[in-house]
């Protein structure tokens, strides 16, 4: 039978210690991986775009210039970020300084995608602006576009 010497015990102790340190590092890495990363701050500003339709809350046919037939709808689409949840915003179609159409829309959470449309007819040609305003009337975002009716 072999006799276990003090050197053997020291070697065993060192191996167990090294194993424990390895497990500790693994646990630390697992804890770090399980900790959710901090979210990057949302970019500020309200994104405003114009297009010919909305599908699954995303704008389709986005453009800055539209050559359309009479009685075509042009959609104002916006991703609102600059208001408190539960607020109302106003989407306005403006030709020059005159508001041709506006709609108030509730924003239940932030960010939130909204849309409204205006039907364009003969005589509506020209330069237009979409303006999204907050509950205090302050402009949150805008976009200019051009319309020509065939």
* Residue where the block lists tokens 């600059």: 82
Residue 81 to residue 92: CA distance in whole angstroms: 17
Residue 118 to residue 97: CA distance in whole angstroms: 17
The helix/strand/coil state of 21 is: helix
- Burial of 22 from C-beta contacts in 10 A (0-12 / 13-18 / 19+): exposed
What is the tens place of the pLDDT at every residue in 25-34? 544 444 444 4
What is the tens place of the pLDDT at every residue in 71-81? 999 999 999 99
């Amino acid at each position: 039978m072999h006799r276990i010497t003090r050197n053997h015990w020291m070697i065993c102790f060192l191996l167990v210690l090294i194993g424990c340190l390895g497990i500790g590092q693994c646990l630390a890495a697992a804890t770090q991986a399980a900790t959710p990363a901090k979210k990057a701050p949302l970019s500020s500003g309200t994104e405003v775009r114009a297009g010919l339709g909305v599908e699954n809350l995303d704008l389709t046919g986005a453009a800055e210039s539209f050559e359309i037939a009479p009685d075509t709808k042009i959609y104002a689409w916006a991703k609102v970020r600059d208001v408190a949840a539960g607020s109302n915003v106003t989407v306005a179609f403006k030709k020059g300084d005159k508001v041709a159409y506006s709609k108030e829309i509730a924003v239940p959470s932030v960010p939130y995608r909204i849309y409204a449309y205006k039907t364009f007819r003969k005589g509506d040609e020209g330069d237009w602006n979409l303006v999204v305003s907050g509950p205090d009337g302050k402009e949150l975002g805008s976009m200019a576009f051009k319309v020509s009716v065939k």
